[in-house]
Structure 1
Amino acid sequence: MARIDLDLAHAYRPNPQRDEDYALLPLKMSFEDGGAYALLGPSGCGKTTLLNIVSGLVKPSQGTLKYDGRDVTGLSPQQRNIAQVFQFPVIYDTMTVAENLAFPLRNRGVAADKIKQRVAKIAEMLELSGQLDTRAAGLAADAKQKISLGRGLVREDVSAVLFDEPLTVIDPHLKWQLRRKLKQIHHELKLTLIYVTHDQVEALTFAQQVVVMTRGRAVQIGTASELFERPRHTFVGNFIGSPGMNFIAARGAADGIEVDGRVLATPNPALAGLGDLTLGVRPEYVQLATENGAGAVPGVVTQAQDIGTYWLVTARIGSGEGMSLLRARIGPEQTIPRVGDGVWLSIVGPHTCYYKNEELVA
């Protein structure tokens, strides 16, 4: 296991001049020894590039990478002593499950009794014990990927285990089981794990810390709670949550903030001098309010969806260029407004966030 420190950037073309030329913009961060991390973001955001730089499959065009303080920027994956699990299974079909799991250990000359013990432990964790003598060729894709996961986890001496969207080929109803298994394995083995995914559920349920990425930049690193409650960038607020955060045009005013011509009091006087702002509030924290209620704005309901455990109500506030759609999660115990109804919705409270140029300011 190792602490991994990054201070680098990467472009696939020579002499990059603009942000758009970089696959990975300048980044300085650390993965702590024994931590479980997820790199989360949409396709093309740079997360696989970052993972491949950590593994040694890609050398950064600028900067350095250190394992436990040792510069490994120019070293191969083998020299870095990492294990990597890819999107699709990488196994030997002609070998049995046990032989596949043992292969990385045999390659390194580990004693036979130690190999048997370690293979048995990993097989039990991944619920493969009953298939150890089965040839891999006859197994389903999800079982093959479990073997691939096991090959990444079987070595005790690795600096880190890297996962590149490893559950893509897994049946959806089995994904939650494997996520739970990976979390359990991390707890038991204390390995440094870095997991790439575009699925926020995978990232938030697996990782202790999530690195949210967009357009080649890591915009926030934090726990699931931090990403949900205080997204530091509007992208994080929109990407995390289902549905994502509401964003409403606002402006600092002497007595608070102005939204659609209505001044709403806020507990933060510093907002007054910031000019144009974006108010962010999650649907979970938007409440039905009384007419002219504190921190509330008027709107007209455009949609009311029964989600089962709650209703998702969408209302239009403002008009013309200043028009916004505001979503609220409302419990079934409340009176649910109908399409076309006028409502007042509270948007200012302790969970409200304020953004300037997409960055959190309060």
Structure 2
Amino acid sequence: MARIELVDLAHAYKPNPSAPGDYALRPMTMQWEDGGAYALLGPSGCGKTTLLNIISGLVRPSHGRVLFDGKDVTDLQPEARNIAQVFQFPVIYDTMTVFDNLAFPLRNRGWKTAEVNRRVQQVAEMLELSADLKHRASGLSADAKQKISLGRGLVRPDVAAVLFDEPLTVIDPHLKWLLRRKLKEIHHELKLSLIYVTHDQVEALTFADKVVVMTQGEVVQAGSAQELFEEPAHTFVGYFIGNPGMNLLPCTVADGVAHLDGGSIPLTERARVALQGENGKITLGIRPEFVECEFSQQADTSPATVTSVRNLGTHCLAEFSLGVHTIAAKLRQLSAAAGDKVWLRLPGERTLFYVNDKRVA
């Protein structure tokens, strides 16, 4: 296991890395602690697999350094970095038994037979593969094969880190949930450093202690699930995290009030100070979970019209028109129909403000 540091790291696949538009990964400096569970989260093409491959040594960065426990490994090949990597599709030997697949990385490193048997049994039990150890991998289901692939990554206790590149893509939704839970249990038991790449926010937020959110080659925030949900540092994080994502509304600020098309919201003292003198693009952000709906005008409410209501059993998901804006809200219940007039309150303590997409208050 290792503490992984990325120092002034950037990468461009084109010959001219000095041109900002050429960057697949924009400059970043990060540190991941030994034994942590991390996720790289973002849409396709955001650079997360490139970053993972730089850590593993499959790609050499065009700028910056990669350190394992303070040692510069930037120029080392993957086999010299002592890492394990699990890919999107199972990488196993179909003609071998499950036992031999799991034992292969250990035998390659000269482990004694008794130690190999003990470790393989331990990992197989964790992944619920014990009953299949004598079976050939070729006859197993896709999810069982991927569990073997996971096991091959986890079986070596001395690795600097185990890197997962969207390993559950080929697994059906119910088994995905079971395997995520199993990986979480294994992490707590083995204390391995795990880095997990995914475009699925549920996978990332339920697996990782810290999630690194990326877009267009840039890391825009790294934090816990709660931090990403309650305090998104960038409008992309607010929009990308959550179902539905954060309401993001352009506004202007004057005389201690945020003015929207169709309404206005008094600023908290913190927001008033942070936004004083700002002349960039100001965006108001509020999660649908925090929007309040009233059926009569009250203090700090703005008139709106119901455009749709969906009863999802545990809550209602509603959309309202506020001037030219559409606002989504998750409400415990709502006895209203499309076309009804209501009043919305956006609580100041739950409302965030962004200037040029970066949070200021």
Q: Report TM bin, short chain.
A: over 0.9
Contact 2:123 2:151 (8 Å CA) reproduced: yes
**1:308 pairs with 2:308:** no
Matched, 1:122 2:97: no
Q: Deviations over 1:314-357 (max 9, x none)?
A: 01111xxxx1100111113xx42210011111113312110110
Secondary structure in structure 1 of the residue aligned to 2:114: helix
SS in 1 for 2:348: coil
Shift of 1:274: 2.4
Q: Which residue of 2 aligns with 1:10?
A: 11
CA–CA distance in structure 2, aligned partners of residues 298 and 262 of structure 1? 7
CA contact (8 A) 2:290 2:347 kept: no
The answer to whether 1:226 aligns with 2:230 is no
Q: Which runs of 5+ in 1 are unaligned?
A: none
CA contact (8 A) 1:253 1:273 kept: no
Distance 1:343 1:130, change over 3 A: same
Map 1:55-66 → 2, pairs under 5 A: 55-66=56-67
Within 2, Cα distance between the matches of 1:263 and 1:199?
35
- Structure 2 residue runs of 5 or longer lacking an equivalent are none
Task: Please give the alpha-carbon distance, in whole angstroms, between the structure 1 residues aligned to 2:253 and 2:298.
Answer: 19
Identity rate, percent: 61
Q: For residues 109-148 of structure 1, what are the structure 2 equivalents within 5 Å? A: 109-148=110-149
- State the distance in 1 between where 2:106 and 2:207 align: 26
The residue type paired with residue 255 of structure 1 is G
Report matched runs for 1:261-276 at 5 Å. 262-268=263-269, 269-270=272-273, 271-275=275-279, 276=281
The answer for the alignment partner of 1:81 in structure 2 is: 82
Is the Cα–Cα contact under 8 Å of residues 254 and 272 in structure 1 kept in the other structure?
A: no
Q: For residue 34 of structure 2, give the secondary structure of its aligned residue in structure 1.
A: coil
CA distance in 1, matches of 2:105, 2:183: 19
For residue 119 of structure 2, what is the amino acid of its counterpart?
Answer: R
Aligned length: 356
SS in 2 for 1:236: helix
Read off the aligned partner of 1:48 and give its amino acid letter.
T
Partners of 2:298 and 2:35 in 1: how far apart?
49
The AA in structure 2 aligned to 1:3 is R
Q: Tell me the CA shift for residue 291 of structure 1.
A: 4.4
Cα distance, 1:289 vs structure 2? 3.0
Letter in 2 for 1:273: G
1:104 and 1:155 in contact (8 A); partners too: yes
Q: For 1:167-178, what aligned pairs fall within 5 Å after superposition? A: 167-178=168-179
C-alpha separation in 2, matches of 1:292 and 1:357 = 33
Q: How does 1:1-362 map to 2 (within 5 A)?
A: 1-7=1-7, 8-260=9-261, 262-268=263-269, 269-270=272-273, 271-275=275-279, 276-289=281-294, 291-318=296-323, 323-332=324-333, 335-362=334-361
Give the aligned residue type for 2:79. Q
Distance 1:330 1:81 in 2: 50
